[in-house]
Amino acid sequence: MSIAATSFDHVRLTVSDIERSRKFYDLVFGWPVYLEVPVDADDATREKFWFLFGGVLYRVSDTQLLGLRPVAEDGFHEDRCGLDHLAFTLPDRAALEAAVALLDEHGIEHEPVKELGVMAILEFRDPDNIALELVVHA
């Protein structure tokens, strides 16, 4: 019998500089923060949220979270065992074109939109070189 998972609950990325990564993800995606340790937290609160490791959890959707965790010291490369890339679904082609404009406006390098038949994708990277994709299904 297999495990009856129906979706991802959360993904957490290890980043080398939490502030730099937060600025990037806030700018590009603008998701609301679901959970983080308040700057002025007391020791009891910090202990309660130990599992965040000083990072943040964003609410991507009603059922999915994306976290950033600041522990990596040697950067990231998807050819190592681990994450190859992370792809986010967009509602339509207009949203994909708006994403291109936003990345261009902020000088974030990206590939041209690629048409794959069943989907169109826009590829770019975060400050730790983690490969990200935006996807519109045909």
In terms of Cβ atoms closer than 10 Å to its own Cβ (0-12, 13-18, 19+), residue 121 is middle
The pLDDT of residue 76 is 65
- Is the domain spanning 1-75 CATH 3.10.180.10? The answer is yes
CATH code: domain 83-138 is 3.10.180.10
Looking at the whole model, is its pTM more than 0.95?
no
Domain with CATH 3.10.180.10 in the chain: 1-75, 83-138
The pLDDT of residue 63 is 93
HSE-up of 132 (CA within 13 Å, CB side)?
Answer: 22
pLDDT string in tens for the chain (138-residue length): 898 888 899 999 988 889 999 999 999 999 999 999 998 999 999 999 999 988 999 999 999 999 998 875 666 666 677 788 999 999 999 999 999 999 999 999 999 999 999 999 999 999 999 999 999 998
Give Cα separations from 18 to 3, 58, 120, 127, 131 (angstroms).
34, 13, 30, 10, 17
How far apart are alpha carbons 114 and 123 in whole angstroms? 8
